[in-house]
Each structure stands twice: as structure tokens, then as C-alpha cells.
Structure 1
Amino acid sequence: MPAERLLPDTESQDLIELTREIAKQELEPHAAEYEAAERFPREQFRLLGRSGLLSLPYPEHWGGGAVPYETYLQVLEEIATAWMSVGVGLSVHTMSCYALAEYGSPEQQERWLPEMLGGELLGGYALSESQAGSDAAALSTRAVRDGADYLVTGAKAWITHGGEADYYTTMVRTAEGSEGISCLHVAGDTPGLTAAPPEKKMGLTGSTTTQLLFDGARVPADRLVGAEGQGLKIALSSLASGRLGIAACAVGLAQAALDEAVGYAKQRSQFGSPIIEFQGIEFLLADMAAAVESARATYLDAARRRDRGMPFARQSSVAKLIATDAAMRVTTDAVQVLGGAGYTRDFPVERYMREAKVPQIFEGTNQIQRMVIARQLRNG
């Protein structure tokens, strides 16, 4: 059954209901097939764009939806409940728009944001490298000024939508040290930019993840977002909001697993009774429900702080940590409720369990989240 919502207004409630209808009719029926075939759901992203769901937290004058982050994240949760790869993709796209929306010049914003938010263009976010994952300041992809352009050389790793995106918000090194990182808005068809073959992953197989290879790629200097040296600040600010997106997706995945487990336990009989009446199962399901609702509360709390202009970075890390750990636990327990059936591909919970692992890793591992939380506690 759908999760109950406490939404701030009727308009938000209507948006959630619209999203739930689209997710149920247009996303969920295709998820298992696309994931099994490792097929990228580009047409589904276009559908979300035409429905106005790729632009929700951004201002209306660029074509955005101007909705509170609290509402946007609940939309994201609904989509992830139906199809985790699409939910994660929407979160990444939203994060890829953040740099221009918050740090771009008015000219850049008017030039690019309407198309980025309109649904036909899909974005990627290129920060990580093979030797610079958690240590973002150690990245080595270099951009050297050459007249009116930057020449970019290096490799980015673990890029969601790699090879599929129309543009990449890309962090590059323009000077030494942590203050030598800059942000470029790179077109996907830039000469000298190629995507490596997709990674072979245990889950989210419908979501393409690749390396991006820059071989003297020529990027016009007017695609520099913010000032030179501002890239790390932009990246960390983007991640604070992006982690809330991953938290919402993780809650959606956990909700899907809980719904499947409850449905199975109601119809599966042993010893003459539905197994949901057995205390061992009902306690397990109760703990799963408590984990889902607690995780949802953490991301909503952080989102409300963000909407009010309050500091929310620590709460974002808490939400990402709590929600993704909960998703791993709930999906594992869902497999247990289904028993042997849960270990087969005849039921979706085995896929949910595989998909739940990577949210504990990307957008900053959960060990990094603990460091962020502890550092803020130390510093008051």
C-alpha cells in the first residue's frame, strides 16, 4: 500500500498523487525487464520531463516547478518506489542542474537552464575519479586555458548517465591544492570526450555507469561555472542537497520491499494460517515499517530546514546514513520474509536487495557521513 503522507498543502498532495499514478502506470511495469536487459530508460526520463518532474525544485522563470524541497523529495521517493534506477537518475539530474542554478551567471542560466529543466536534456555529475572518490580534493583531471577554451585531460569514474547524458557538471583541476578546483558545464558531444564501456554492476543495471575519458577535450571558457577555484565549494554544496535525494530514493526502495513482504506474508499460508499471523514474521515486518518511517522522517526534517534557509548539511548526512542503512536492512529482511522465493528472480525483492547496497556507497560513503557528522559535533 502507498505510504501515507503529511503534505504541506493541497497542491503538493495533487503532485504526489500524479507522480504515484505515473510511477504505477509508466515506470513500475517496465522496471524488471529493463533491469534484466541492462537497458537505459531514456524514454521514461523524457516522460518525466514532459510531466514537469525533472525540474521541480528550481524557479519557474527557468521552467522549474518552484516546489519546496520537502515536496520534491517525496516525489522522488514515489518514483524510486516504482523503479530505483529512474529515481536515482532523477536525483542525479537535479544535482547536475544545481551548479548553474546557484553559481552560474545570469547569462549562463538563461542560456542553458530552460533546456536542462525542460525535460529533453539529461544531465550527469562528474566529480569522482578512480583515485579521488571520498577525497574529492585529490582529483587530477586537469583543465588548461588555451585562448578562449579549456583543454581538459583526465578520467572521471562512476559517472551516472555516462555516455547517455547531454551535459556533465564536471569538476576539474585548474591549479594546485584544494582551491585549484573549478567547475565546467561540459556538453556531452564535446570532441575529445568519450565514455568507457558501462561498468558491470550487481544492481541498478538499468542505470548506465561509466568512466568519462577526456583527451584534450576543448571546452569553451564561457562554460566555467562560478570563478576558477570555486569548484570544490560548488561540489560540496551540491552534495549536501544530493544526499537528500539519495536518502529519499533509499526510503522509496525500502517502502517497495516492505510492501512486497507484507503482501506475500498475507497470502502465504503455513500450518493453516497466513504467515503474517506468526509473531516471528509480524515482529520482523513491524521493525521494517519502523525503519522506513524513521528514515523518511530524517530526510523530511533536513528538507524542511533547507526550505527555511537553515543549515542542513549535518542533517543531510544523517538522513543519507540512516535511510541507506535502513534500505539495506529492510530489503534483506524482505528476502527473509519470502524465504526461498525471495532468493529467486520470480519476485522483485532479490533485485531490491542488490540495489540497496550502492546507496550506502555513492554520494559519500556512509563512513564519510559519520565523519561529517562527528566533525560538525566537534566544531559545535
Structure 2
Amino acid sequence: MAAVLEPAQSKEIPAGGAFLFQEVGATRIVTPETLAEDQRLFFKTALQFSREKVLPQAERIEAKDNALLRDLLRQAGELGLLSVDIPEAYGGTGLDKTTSLLLAEAMSLNGSWSVTFGAHTGIGTLPIVWFGNAAQKEKYLPKLATGEWVAAYALTEQGSGSDALGAKTKAVRSPDGKHWILNGSKLYITNAAFADVFVVFAKVDGDKFTGFIVEKDTPGLTVGPEEHKMGIRGSSTCPLYFEDARVPAENLLGEIGKGHKIAFNILNYGRLKLGAGVLGGMKLQLQNALHFTQERKQFGTPIVQFPLSREKLARMAALIHAVESMTYRTAGLVDGRLFGRDKSAPDYEANLLAAVEEYAIESSIMKVHGSESLNALVDDAVQLHGGAGYIEEYPVERAYRDARINRIFEGTNEINRMLIAGMLLKRAVKGDLPLFAMAGNVAEELSRGERPRARGEDALAPQEVAAESAKRLALHGLRVAAETFGTDLEKHQEVLAALSDVVMDAFALDSMVTRTRQAASQGKLDPVRVALTQLYALDAVPRAYDRTRRALCATLQGDALDKELKRLATLDVFTPYNPAELRETVVKALEQANGYPLSQE
């Protein structure tokens, strides 16, 4: 059974971005604690595969052993780990999206394997699942589900990365109409050296952006040499060259000129999965850092006993809790939109795409927040290892290098920051979100010097107020920026980026508070979950206020700026906590659990 909201609520699933306009805890959310037993069992199976089959082979993977990667994919296929997103009619298991994200988490213990696996099951396979016709699905999906064939995705070119539609690769129909003739090249193609089938994008007649299914033995297709990368060195990354490559006419994917629908929907889902795809690595590196600090002694004392070491460990755990809370909440929203729908119905894939697109804002948040949280965590992990963290013998050295690519994958973090604020404003203009009305209410509250109040009086009341204040900061900043710049707002990237950061922290705080309250036992909040939330808030609250202030300074001048900064001060909330006490609550739980204390195993 999918981990979705209660069936009675299935028609009341919040819209994408609605968290910004609803009170904390207004609706129940999906969390790791609400997972069904079959989901937990699937996760445990996948995690066992990663621990027993992948991690022991880390050195061979790092050395670009492509034969090993293919064999690991085949073994994963035998366990059903490649088929979660493939319909049962085509050899898959067609499970819910929460399970798909659990799988992404379990497979992320090793960066190179995570990328190899994700490229095959995600960007390589899903275009055919979602946009292929019946004949294409019948031909390719059963082989992709078992790992007999490996998939890859070819979008990026020398002059088109984030600007995907700027691709130069061209496709023209052959005189006899039996083939498409492709000319051009692609860069940074994951799994390229051993893939059997590529999803390739080219412009038909030079201007109609279109998808194609291209098999490895296609005449005119050449796979270039392996790239030598800073991180994820074990994954295959090669260029592709098309010189009058003859692709059968029936391998056109979707409709001519509609390739952007394929690319953008794949990006949305990939961004959502990246949130889960960093969690496994984050938890593993936290555990490794904990073990290292317990064993390493300085001045005759294990360094885990030093307060600044414990501070880093606690901060790492708080970041995991934030990413985990947002990720599975969003997965549950997607599943909630699909609850009760017949998976065999002709319109199911269209409804799935609509559900994924609905939460494009949350997906971009997962991409940015997840990748940057991973980056911060492995940085702390290297620091805790000291000089050993710089030595290849220790896994954290590789994890540090592997983490960097995530801020570039699936659209750079800069692009996604533009998307978060931009999509909120576009949906507001269309009337899909009450942004301007709510922002007007916020302006009136600020004029009266009012700040939000907590609905409850528990230990998380201050964090509830912090979440609501962050929402108001974002709404107020977006309104002022929109009124000041109008249609030119998209040119002011520093404003949009700063306000997107506020939106991300609002979503994180909202999700963490809601999750912790839902997990209360007999009305009592778990002190560890409370401490994790409070630790995150200690950094997030001043950060959200500072980002909004910076956005206003980049928007207004003179008296207008002074007026808004004075009004903004109403939302400068601060609750004093002893960080040492919070730290000790968290680290003692880490020590007792031998790692992240809220594992869903």
C-alpha cells in the first residue's frame, strides 16, 4: 500500500507551493514514520544490496570497471530494483513514487553507483515509460526492467546545458521516409560506454525539438572516450557523435516538436529524486564520521568528546532530518494525487505527469536543498577526519568529490533558484496560488506590528512561529519585488535567488515541525526530534531574515527601503536556546543508535 494521505483526504491534497499559504500542520504529511510495511521491506532489500554488493566493490567501481557496473545492474534487475517505475504490463512492478524515492535513497551509498543506477532507471527509462507508444514500450521496457539492456539519456551539448532547447543536433527525414538522419554531438552522457539504448534529443528540420530512441549499433553513432572527472569517477561519462546516423522512423519518441515536454518532465522528477538520492550518502557519511571520532584520540581523549566535534555531528543530523522530512512529504503529495487511479487506464501516465509537474516547486527545492545539504555534511565529515579526510584510503575523500556534481545535475542550483520563485509568481499570476492576496494580508499585519502566533503551546511553538514568519518574509519580499520590477523581475536574479532561499527554509521548518508533532507518542514529543528541529531553526531563522533583507536592499532605495526594513523587523524572531544542550541531546542519540537515530530500517 502506498504511503499516501488518507483516502478520505485524497481530493484535498494541497496544490504545489501551497505550504507557503497554509498553517503549519494544516494537513497530515507522509513521513518515514508513516511508511507501509511492504515499503520498508523493499527499502531494506535495496539497502542490503547496496551494502553487500556495491560498497565492497567501491575500488573496482572507482577504477571504471564498466563490466562490473553492468553486472550490478543485472543483479539489481533480478531483485526487481530496476522496475519500480515500469508498468506491470511491460515487465515492471509499477510501484508508488514514495517507494521509488526509497530506492533512490538506498542506492546512494556510493556516488558512482548511484549515478549509474539513477541514469538507467530514471532519465534513461522514464522517457519511454511516459512518452513511448505501445510498440516502443513492448520492445524496450522488459529488457530495461531486468537489466538485460542499459539505458542512457543524451540531452547536453557543448552550447546547451541549462538551456536545453538551444541544442544544435539536427534530424531530417530520409528521402524514403524510413529513417531519421541525425547529425551533431552530445556531451557528458552517463552510462554511454555500455548503454544499449539512448534517449536522444535533436531538432527536426533545424527547429522542432524532438526526442528519439537510438540503439547503440545505429550506423553513424560513435561513442567517444571516457571523461576523467573530479568525482563520480566510476560512472561512465562519454560524448556521443552522430554522423548521418540512421534511426528507424518508428523510433521517434513522442511528437515532433514536443521534446521539451519529455525533457522538462524528466527534469522535474529527477529533481525530486535527487532529494532522496543524497540521503543514503548523508547517513552513511554521518555514521562513518561518528565511528572515526569515537576511535581517533587527541590529547588522550576520543575526539568525539570534544564539543566542536559534537557540534558538527549534531548539525549533520539536523540537515538529514530536514532533507528527509521535505523529500518524503513531497513524494506523498505526488502519490496522493494518484491515489485510487487505475494504473492500467490509458490516461494514467498523463495523470502521473500532471502530479509530478504540480510539485515542480517542491522538486526544485529538493534539488537545491538536498545537494547543498549533502555538500555541507561531507565538508563537516572531512573536517572531523582531519588529515585522514584528505587521503584516498578513507571513503569520505571520495564522498567529498562525488558530492560536488549534485549542484550541477538536473539543472544547476542557480537555475533552480530562479525556478522556485519564478514558478510561485507565475502560478500566482494565473490565479492558481493566492500569493498576492496573502502578501497583502502580510503587509497589513506588518503595518500593525503583528507577528504570527503558534496554534499550540508545546516545545515546538517557537519553531512553528519561525516557519510562519519565514513564509511571511518570502511572501512580502516577492510582492515588493514584483511590484517594483514588474515583468523585468526575472532579470534581477539576486532578488529571486535570495527569496527562494527563504522559501526553502520555510518548507523545511514547516515539514520538520509537522513531522515531529505527527510522530508524538501519546501526546509527548520525542526530545531528539525536537532538538533536531530546533538546531536547524537556529541557523535557518536568521538566514531567512537576512536573505529577505538582502532582497529588499537589491529592490528598493532611500526612504522606501528604510520603510520596508522597519516593517520587516516585526518578523525578526529569535528564541534563545542553549546550543550545547541541543547538541548533546542529538549526539547522545547518534551514539546510542550507532548512526542517524531516525532510520526507517
Q: Distance in 2 between matches of 1:250 and 1:187?
A: 31
Q: Which residue of 394, 397, 420 maps to 1:350? A: 397
1:120 partner amino acid:
E
How many angstroms apart in 2 are the aligned matches of 1:253 and 1:359?
12
Aligned to 2:182: 152
Q: Do residues 194 (structure 1) and 194 (structure 2) align? A: no
Which of 394, 406, 409 is the matching residue for 1:359?
406
Q: Which amino acid aligns with 2:103?
A: V
CA contact (8 A) 2:274 2:366 kept: no
Structure 2 counterpart of 1:181, one-letter code: F
- The 8 Å contact of residues 32 and 328 in structure 2, kept in 1 or not, is answered as no
Q: Deviations over 1:173-202 (max 9, x none)?
A: 11454xx11110111111111111111101
Q: Does 2:200 align with 1:174?
A: no
Q: CA deviation at 1:107?
A: 2.2
| Cα offset, 1:172, TM superposition | 0.8
In the alignment, structure 1 residue 17 sits paired with structure 2 residue 44: yes
Q: Which residue of 2 aligns with 1:92?
A: 119
Q: Secondary structure at the match of 1:201?
A: coil
* Aligned 1:7-156 pairs, distance under 5 A: 8-35=35-62, 37-40=63-66, 41-81=69-109, 83-94=110-121, 95-146=123-174, 147-156=177-186
User: What is the DSSP-based 3-state SS (H/G/I as helix, E as strand, rest coil) of the residue aligned with 1:6?
Assistant: helix
Partners of 1:52 and 1:119 within 8 A in 2? no
Q: Distance in 2 between matches of 1:7 and 1:158?
A: 38
CA contact (8 A) 1:139 1:173 kept: yes
Structure 2 CA distance for aligned equivalents of residues 124 and 305 of structure 1: 28
TM-score, length-normalised on structure 2?
0.61
> Take 1:101 and 1:57, find their aligned partners in 2: how far apart are those partners?
8
Q: Does the Cα contact within 8 Å between 1:7 and 1:71 map onto a contact in 2?
A: no
Task: Please tell me the residue identity of whatever aligns with 1:148.
Answer: K
Conservation of the 8 A alpha-carbon contact between 1:91 and 1:246: no
The equivalences for 1:281-360 within 5 A come to 281-309=309-337, 310=355, 311-360=358-407
Instruction: State the Cα deviation string for residues 6-53 of structure 1 (Å, max 9, x = none).
Output: 352111111111112211111110013321x23222211111111111
Q: Contact 1:247/1:323 (CA < 8 Å) preserved in 2?
A: yes
Instruction: Give, in whole Å, the separation in 2 of the partners of 1:32 and 1:247.
Output: 26
CA distance in 2: counterparts of 1:189 and 1:51, whole angstroms: 28
Distance 2:33 2:157 in 1: 40
How far the C-alpha of 1:340 sits from its partner, in A, is: 0.7
Q: 1:170: Cα distance to partner?
A: 0.9
Q: Provide the rounded CA distance (Å) in 1 between the counterparts of 2:263 and 2:82.
A: 20
What is the deviation of 1:244? 2.2
Residues 92 and 242, structure 1, Cα contact 8 Å, conserved in 2: no
**Structure 1 residue 5, shift from structure 2 partner:** 4.3
Shift of 1:219: 0.2
Cα distance in structure 2, aligned partners of 1:280 and 1:274: 13
Check the 8 A contact 1:171/1:182 in 2, yes or no: yes
Aligned identity (percent) is 35
SS of equivalent residue, structure 2 residue 211: strand
1:263 aligns with 2:263: no
What residue identity is the alignment partner of 1:90?
F
Distance 1:79 1:66, change over 3 A: same
- CA drift at 1:163: 2.2
Q: CA deviation at 1:266?
A: 1.4
Q: Distance in 2 between matches of 1:117 and 1:372?
A: 33
Q: Is the 8 A contact 2:156 2:167 kept in 1?
A: yes
8 Å contact kept, 1:159–1:210: yes
For residues 84 and 357 of structure 1, do their structure 2 counterparts lie closer, same or farther at Cα, with a shift above 3 Å needed?
Answer: same
User: Helix, strand or coil for the counterpart of 2:286?
Assistant: helix
Letter of the aligned partner of 1:154 in structure 2?
A: G
Q: Is the 8 A contact 1:7 1:13 kept in 2?
A: no
Distance, in Å, in 1 between the alignment partners of 2:422 and 2:195 is 35
- Gap regions ≥5 residues in structure 1: none
Separation in structure 2 between the aligned mates of residue 87 and residue 245 of structure 1, nearest angstrom: 11
Task: Give how far 1:315 is off.
Answer: 0.7
Aligned residues: 373
Higher mean alpha-carbon deviation, 24-33 vs 211-220, is at: 24-33
Give the partner amino acid of 1:77: E
Q: Secondary structure at 2:173's aligned position in 1?
A: strand
Higher mean alpha-carbon deviation, 189-198 vs 290-299, is at 290-299
C-alpha deviation, 1:305, in angstroms: 2.1
CA distance in 2, matches of 1:176, 1:375: 29
Moved more, 53-62 or 351-360: 53-62
- More displaced stretch, 352-361 vs 236-245: 236-245
Alignment of 1:161-240 (within 5 A): 161-177=191-207, 180-240=208-268
Greater strand content:
1
SS at match of 1:165: coil
CA contact (8 A) 1:80 1:250 kept: yes
Conservation of the 8 A alpha-carbon contact between 2:188 and 2:237: yes
8 Å Cα contact 1:175-1:181 kept in structure 2: no
Report the alpha carbon displacement of residue 207 of structure 1 after superposing the two structures with TM.
0.3
Amino acid paired to 1:33: R
